[in-house]
Amino acid sequence: MSNVVFGTDGIRGLAGGPVMNAENALKFGWALGEVLKGKNSHPRVLIGKDTRISGYMFESALEAGLCASGCEISLLGPMPTPAIGYLTQALRADAGIVISASHNPYQDNGIKVFNHCGAKFDRSVEVAIAHLCQMPMKTVDPTQLGKATRIREASGRYIEFCKSKIRSDISLKGISIVLDCAHGATYHIAPHVFQELGARVTVIGNKPNGLNINDDCGSTHVEKLVKKVLATKSDLGFAFDGDGDRLMVVDHQGKVYDGDDLLYLMSGYLQQTDQLHGGIIGTVMTNAGLVNWLDSQNIPFKRANVGDRSVMAKLKQYHWRIGGEPSGHFVNLDRTLSGDGIVGALMVLEALIVQDKSLAEVISSDYKFPSKMVNIPKDEQNTTWINQDAFVEDIKKVEKSLGRHGRILIRESGTESCIRVLVETDQVKQLNPVMHEVVEKLKSRLGQAVS
Looking at residue 450, what is its pLDDT? 40
Helix (H) or strand (E) holding 353: helix 341-355
Closest CA to 239 of 354, 375, 103, 111: 103
Closest CA to 306 of 4, 6, 5, 9: 9
Q: 158-362: which CATH number, 3.30.43.10, 2.40.110.10, 3.20.20.450, 3.40.120.10?
A: 3.40.120.10
Looking at residue 381, what is its pLDDT? 66
Residues of the chain with CATH 3.40.120.10: 11-152, 158-362
Closest CA to 420 of 397, 386, 381: 386
Enumerate residue ranges in the chain where pLDDT < 70.
1-2, 8, 380-381, 448-451
Q: What is the DSSP code (8-state) at residue 253? A: T
Looking at residue 451, what is its pLDDT? 30
Side-chain half-sphere of 286: how many Cα atoms within 13 Å?
30
Closest CA to 399 of 376, 367, 431, 365: 431
- Angle of the 81-90 helix axis to the 154-163 helix axis, nearest 10: 100
Assess contact for 74 and 102: CB atoms under 8 A. no
Query: Is 102 one of the annotated active-site residues of the chain?
Result: yes
Q: How far apart are the first and last CA of the chain?
A: 29
Looking at residue 382, what is its pLDDT? 73
Residues of the chain with CATH 3.30.310.50: 371-450
Looking at residue 2, what is its pLDDT? 65
Looking at residue 326, what is its pLDDT? 95
Looking at residue 319, what is its pLDDT? 96
Q: How is domain 371-450 classified at the architecture level of CATH?
A: 2-Layer Sandwich (3.30)
Question: Alpha-carbon distance 324 to 266, whole Å?
Answer: 11
- Sign for the CA dihedral angle at 35, 39, 42, 47 comes to negative
Looking at residue 1, what is its pLDDT? 44
Ramachandran region, residue 92 (left: φ > 0; alpha: ψ -120 to 50; beta: rest) = left
Side-chain half-sphere of 218: how many Cα atoms within 13 Å?
31
Q: Which of 102, 219, 338, 371 is catalytic?
A: 102
**Exposure of 223 by Cβ count < 10 A (0-12 exposed, 13-18 middle, 19+ buried)?**
exposed
Dihedral, 443, 444, 446, 451 alpha carbons, nearest 10? 140
Q: How is domain 11-152 classified at the architecture level of CATH?
A: 3-Layer(aba) Sandwich (3.40)
Ramachandran region, residue 28 (left: φ > 0; alpha: ψ -120 to 50; beta: rest) = alpha
Quick check: helix, strand or coil at residue 308?
helix
Q: Which amino acid is at 99?
A: I
Contacts of 382 (CB under 8 A, 6+ apart): 449
Contacts of 128 (CB under 8 A, 6+ apart): 31, 35
- Diameter of the chain measured on Cα atoms: 71
Assess contact for 70 and 33: CB atoms under 8 A. yes
Question: Alpha-carbon distance 286 to 280, whole Å?
Answer: 11
